[in-house]
């Protein structure tokens, strides 16, 4: 039978999975091959996921499974996305147990990252029920390459979503990710933008998609100029690990040209980035100051917004959820 | 303290305590900028990362003329853990490693103290603690120790009877062994577990990358030095300090190298305190660098690594460390000191050197290099 989760529409047979390796057919039903099996669980700053405009300052329970429906030639997490699940799946945790762990580690929210949530959707469906019953918001990172039915489900399960928009070109998706069209990704972005808190991440590969920066900015601004856009200086791995790192000033010059269209552009995936602060779109004062001390993301070091308003000019800055302090949910924190 | 960060073709200078960019400059920072430009880090898994350490060290030796140097080589450890290097590749690695070290010693004529962090053994299996009622945290990249928080009676029964768990100790037993240092005690789990040799814990916080080898239970490690007898890793720092009065000394840490692979004449020294043996990582590095056991400078493995990472945390580029304990050789020695290492964070933490140059790699991703500059008196 045909798999319904993504536009690949793989033909599933008994014990023969599709491209992502996550589903098979059994007695006329699509079955998840590794239900409730997870590879990693960490407590991280939500900014490092990255989400810059959702629950600022919070501690996220970041977890992932294994597998992906794309085959990005530069994938940074190929050891998880493309690795042998038998080497990777360590944790077999039903929803209640995973949410218990999130609470024991003082996390404010739960985020599925590392690999593509589409490959674990039935498990995530059950997990979302459990998290919702305990008022814990859930978010995810996704490549956005999914069927309409899956987009509806992802939208319902996760209140905050970060979609990876790698290019606007079908050629890019065909040559570097193994699928024929970018359109399903664009459709997902539009769908989520109307229903969820949405942020977008674009990995920049020098000489391959840096010329698309202006077009991508136009596309995002056309949907909603308030969408935060994370531009990643990609360090290619997997099949492209010898490719050059993007040149920071070259990329930033291109970003400067489009900051008027999109006020919330962030440029990171390198430590020390000076482009991770949130500026008020009206008065250009720094209203959220962050440092980037590792590769991706970083953390908040100064938060000046009052509600969702700039304290200098009163201008609005869209933030999903409340600012919280890192240890506010940790019963064992004793200071120091 | 200043930090010069080089993320490949772009540099910035940071206030190391806050992690924020600064306009402050110094002659040492200018020297570090040029040095980092000349020496790009090839990556943790590249064999060239060995030569990178000695090339940068020689560069630094010529430009800064330190009397004390600290070098760390992590490539053998990463190869053992993540590649399970075959015999031929391993011999190539060892030959290169020791030839580069000998070249450095011959060129600088510094008196060496070379220590291996201990033997690696094939991973036999994992002890999965995720199904316990309580929270379990592993310590380090491939934890042989884990911490338990508020365990149920069932959890305790399970870990005490687990065939691959060698030791279960209470917090009080750890304090009795290591002493009652307030900072150390504050982050102690309620119970700590030690795995049998060949086994590692899988807990919340564990890495996903497939692992081939892990540190053995190394009660002793190999050490080479013409400076005199070394009975314990805690005797290295005092020995170095004493000899710095009369000569230039280089302390070299070889991660993942035990007695079988130590291609120099060596003696063995203790790498333990009672039942506890140091594995490559923060505790072992800082014990070598300071001459004092774990409780004086770091936490017991299995602490909640995320707890101190609030927005107020100082030294955000130093992993979980939120302060500098000024007890390393570079702090005590008043002459010039420099460190170079392919082990991020621990090179500057364990050396206390005036200038520490290290790779800026996280999770094997190569983000570039960093030079940390101690405030000059």
- Give dist(CA B222, CA B220) in Å, integer: 7
Report whether pLDDT(A334) > 60.
no
Task: Work out the angle at residue A312's Cα, subtended by the Cα atoms of residues A306 and A318, and round it to the nearest 5 degrees.
Answer: 50
Per the DSSP assignment, residues forming a β-bridge with B59 are none
Cis peptide before A235 (omega within 30 of 0): no
- pLDDT for A102-139, tens place per residue? 999 999 999 999 999 999 999 999 999 999 999 999 99
Structure tokens at A20: 């992502």
Give the nearest partner residue to A105 out of B204, B311, B367, using CB atoms: B204
Q: Which positions in chain B touch A101 (Cβ < 8 Å)?
A: 130, 135, 204
Number of domains in chain B: 2
- Give dist(CA A278, CA A289) in Å, integer: 7
Residue B101, domain member (yes or no): yes
Calculate mean pLDDT across residues A134-153: 98
CA distances to A80, A177, A186, A256, B35 from A148, in Å: 26, 20, 11, 35, 53
Judge if B47 and B163 occupy the same domain.
Answer: no
pLDDT of A333 reads: 55
CB A43 within 8 A of CB A61: yes
Residue B311, domain member (yes or no): no
CATH domain A34-272 topology: TIM Barrel (3.20.20)
DSSP B361: E
- Give dist(CA B347, CA B340) in Å, integer: 7
In B82-114, which positions are buried (b, 16+ CB within 10 angstroms) versus exposed (e)?
bebbeeeebeebbebbbebbeebbeebebbbbb
Judge if B108 and B152 occupy the same domain.
Answer: no
Those residues whose C-beta lies under 8 Å from the C-beta of residue B130, and which sit 6 or more positions away, are A41, A90, A91, A92, A93, A97, A101, B136, B202, B203, B204
- Give dist(CA B166, CA B144) in Å, integer: 10
CATH code, B161: 3.30.1360.110
Per the DSSP assignment, residues forming a β-bridge with A162 are A141, A199
Q: How many CB atoms lie within 10 A of CB B160?
A: 12
Judge if B7 and B101 occupy the same domain.
Answer: yes
Which residue's structure tokens are 């002659």? B27
Judge if B95 and B223 occupy the same domain.
Answer: yes
Backbone angles phi, psi at A293, to 5 degrees: -100, -5
The domain locations on chain A are 1-33, 34-272
CB B342 within 8 A of CB B358: yes
- Give dist(CA B166, CA B169) in Å, integer: 10
Coil, strand or helix: which one is A230? strand
Put simply, the chain A residues between 225 and 264 with a CB less than 8 A from any chain B CB are 235, 237, 245, 247-249
- pLDDT for B174-230, tens place per residue? 999 999 999 999 999 999 999 999 999 999 998 888 999 999 999 999 999 999 999
Structure tokens at A224: 């909603």
Between chains, do B317 and A301 touch, taking CB under 8 Å as contact?
no
- Give dist(CA A248, CA A246) in Å, integer: 6
Which residue's structure tokens are 């979503």? A161
- Give dist(CA A149, CA A155) in Å, integer: 10
Last residue in a domain, options B168, B188, B211:
B211
Last residue in a domain, options B151, B184, B211:
B211
ipTM for the predicted complex: 0.95
- Give dist(CA B278, CA B286) in Å, integer: 11
Domain residue limits at B156? 124-211
Judge if B29 and B102 occupy the same domain.
Answer: yes
Structure tokens at A88: 């990777």
Nearest residue to A188 (alpha-carbon basis) of A220, A151, A229, A157: A151
Judge if B359 and B257 occupy the same domain.
Answer: yes
Calculate the average pLDDT of chain B.
95
Calculate mean pLDDT across residues B233-239: 98
Q: Which positions in chain B touch A40 (Cβ < 8 Å)?
A: 206-208
CB B90 within 8 A of CB B62: no
pLDDT bin (cut points 50, 70, 90) of residue A332 is low
Calculate the average pLDDT of chain A.
94
DSSP B199: E
CA distance A195 to chain B (A): 31
Nearest residue to A52 (alpha-carbon basis) of A318, A304, A307, A283: A318
pLDDT of A335 reads: 46
Residue B320, domain member (yes or no): no
For every residue of B264-300, DSSP letters joined together read S--EEEE-EETTEEPPTTHHHHHHHHHSS-GGGTS--
Q: State whether residue B8 sits within 8 Å of chain A by CB.
A: yes
Judge if B243 and B360 occupy the same domain.
Answer: yes
Judge if B139 and B194 occupy the same domain.
Answer: yes
Q: How many CB atoms lie within 10 A of CB A86?
A: 8
Between chains, do A87 and B210 touch, taking CB under 8 Å as contact?
yes
Minimal-distance CA residue of chain B relative to A252: B10
CA distance B224 to chain A (A): 35
Q: State whether residue A80 sits within 8 Å of chain B by CB.
A: yes
- pLDDT for B92-106, tens place per residue? 999 999 999 999 999
Residue B274, domain member (yes or no): yes
Q: Which positions in chain B touch A114 (Cβ < 8 Å)?
A: 208
Radius of gyration, alpha carbons of chain A: 19
Among B3, B42, B306, the strongest candidate for a mutation testing the A interface, having the largest count of A CBs within 10 A, is: B306
Between chains, do B311 and A301 touch, taking CB under 8 Å as contact?
yes
Residue B222, domain member (yes or no): yes
- pLDDT for A213-245, tens place per residue? 999 999 999 999 999 999 999 999 999 988 999
Rounded to a whole number, what is the distance in angstroms from the first to the last CA of chain B? 11
Backbone angles phi, psi at B73, to 5 degrees: -125, 115
- Give dist(CA A230, CA A275) in Å, integer: 10
- pLDDT for A259-309, tens place per residue? 999 999 999 999 999 999 999 999 999 999 999 998 777 899 999 999 999
- pLDDT for A23-71, tens place per residue? 999 989 999 999 999 999 999 999 999 999 999 999 999 999 999 999 9
Residue B321, domain member (yes or no): no
Those residues whose C-beta lies under 8 Å from the C-beta of residue A222, and which sit 6 or more positions away, are none
Q: State whether residue B310 sits within 8 Å of chain A by CB.
A: yes
Half-sphere exposure of B309 (CA within 13 A, CB side): 27
Nearest residue to A41 (alpha-carbon basis) of A60, A22, A57: A60
Judge if B13 and B114 occupy the same domain.
Answer: yes
Q: Which positions in chain B touch A291 (Cβ < 8 Å)?
A: 18-20, 316
Beta-strand pair A299-303/A286-291: antiparallel
Report whether pLDDT(B362) > 80.
yes
- pLDDT for B125-165, tens place per residue? 999 999 999 999 997 788 999 999 999 999 999 999 999 99
Judge if B102 and B140 occupy the same domain.
Answer: no
Residue B69, domain member (yes or no): yes
Last residue in a domain, options B161, B190, B211:
B211
Judge if B341 and B264 occupy the same domain.
Answer: yes
Judge if B86 and B26 occupy the same domain.
Answer: yes
Residue B9, domain member (yes or no): yes
CB A59 within 8 A of CB A47: no
């Amino acid at each position: 039978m045909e798999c319904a989760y993504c536009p690949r529409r793989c033909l599933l047979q008994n014990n023969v999975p599709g491209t992502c390796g996550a589903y098979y057919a059994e007695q006329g039903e699509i079955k998840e091959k590794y239900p409730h099996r997870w590879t990693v669980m960490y407590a991280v700053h939500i900014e490092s996921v990255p989400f810059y405009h959702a629950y600022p300052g919070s501690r996220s329970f970041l977890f992932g499974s294994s597998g992906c429906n794309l085959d990005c030639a530069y994938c940074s997490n190929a050891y998880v996305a493309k690795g042998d699940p038998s080497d990777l799946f360590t944790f077999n945790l039903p929803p209640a147990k995973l949410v218990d762990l999130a609470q024991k580690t003082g996390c404010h929210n739960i985020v599925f990252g590392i690999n593509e949530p589409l490959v674990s959707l039935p498990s995530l469906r059950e997990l979302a029920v459990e998290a919702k019953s305990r008022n814990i918001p859930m978010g995810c990172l996704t490549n956005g390459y999914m069927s309409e039915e899956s987009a509806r489900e992802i939208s319902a399960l996760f209140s905050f979503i970060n979609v990876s928009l790698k290019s606007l070109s079908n050629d890019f998706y065909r040559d570097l990710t193994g699928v024929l069209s970018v359109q399903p990704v664009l459709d997902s972005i539009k769908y989520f933008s109307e229903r969820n808190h949405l942020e977008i991440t674009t990995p920049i590969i020098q000489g391959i998609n840096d010329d698309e920066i202006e077009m991508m900015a136009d596309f995002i601004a056309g949907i909603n100029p308030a969408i935060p856009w994370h531009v990643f200086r990609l360090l290619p791995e997997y099949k492209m690990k010898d490719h050059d790192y993007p040149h920071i000033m070259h990329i930033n010059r291109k970003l400067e040209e489009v900051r008027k269209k999109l006020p919330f552009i962030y440029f990171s995936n390198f430590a020390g980035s000076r482009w991770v602060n949130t500026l008020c779109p009206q008065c250009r004062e720094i209203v959220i100051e962050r440092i980037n001390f590792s590769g991706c993301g970083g953390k908040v070091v100064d938060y000046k917004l009052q509600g969702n308003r700039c304290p200098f000019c009163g201008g609005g800055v869209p933030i999903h959820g409340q600012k919280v302090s890192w240890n506010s949910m940790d019963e064992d924190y004793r200071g120091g | 303290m200043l930090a010069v960060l080089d993320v490949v073709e772009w540099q910035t200078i940071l206030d190391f305590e806050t992690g924020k960019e600064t306009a402050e400059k110094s002659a040492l920072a200018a020297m570090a900028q040029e040095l980092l430009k000349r020496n790009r880090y090839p990556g943790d898994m590249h064999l060239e990362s060995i030569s990178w350490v000695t090339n940068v060290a020689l560069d630094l030796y010529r430009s800064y003329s330190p009397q004390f140097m600290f070098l760390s080589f992590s490539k053998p450890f990463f190869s053992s853990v993540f590649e399970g290097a075959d015999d031929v590749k391993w011999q190539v690695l060892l030959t290169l490693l020791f030839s580069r070290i000998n070249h450095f010693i011959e060129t600088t004529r510094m008196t060496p103290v070379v220590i291996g962090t201990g033997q690696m053994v094939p991973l036999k299996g994992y002890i999965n603690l995720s199904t316990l009622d309580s929270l379990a945290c592993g310590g380090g990249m491939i934890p042989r120790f884990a911490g338990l928080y508020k365990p149920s009676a069932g959890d305790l029964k399970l870990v005490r009877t687990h065939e691959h768990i060698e030791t279960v100790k209470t917090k009080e037993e750890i304090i009795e062994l290591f002493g009652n240092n307030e900072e150390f005690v504050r982050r102690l789990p309620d119970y700590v577990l030690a795995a049998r040799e060949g086994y590692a814990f899988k807990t919340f916080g564990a890495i996903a990358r497939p692992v081939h080898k892990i540190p053995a239970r190394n009660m002793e490690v190999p050490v080479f030095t013409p400076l005199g007898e070394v009975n314990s890793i805690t005797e290295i720092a005092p020995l170095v300090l004493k000899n710095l009065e009369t000569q230039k000394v280089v302390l070299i840490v070889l991660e993942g190298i035990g007695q079988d692979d130590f291609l120099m004449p060596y003696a063995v020294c203790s790498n333990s305190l009672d039942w506890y043996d140091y594995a490559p990582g923060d505790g072992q590095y800082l014990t070598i660098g300071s001459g004092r056991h774990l409780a004086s400078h770091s936490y017991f493995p299995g602490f909640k690594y995320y707890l101190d990472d609030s927005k107020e945390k100082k030294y955000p580029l130093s992993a979980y460390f939120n302060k500098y304990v000024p007890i390393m050789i570079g702090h005590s020695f008043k002459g010039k000191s420099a460190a170079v290492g392919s082990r991020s964070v621990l090179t500057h933490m364990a050396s206390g050197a005036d200038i520490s140059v290290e790779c800026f790699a996280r999770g094997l991703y190569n983000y570039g290099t960093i030079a940390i500059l101690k405030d000059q008196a």
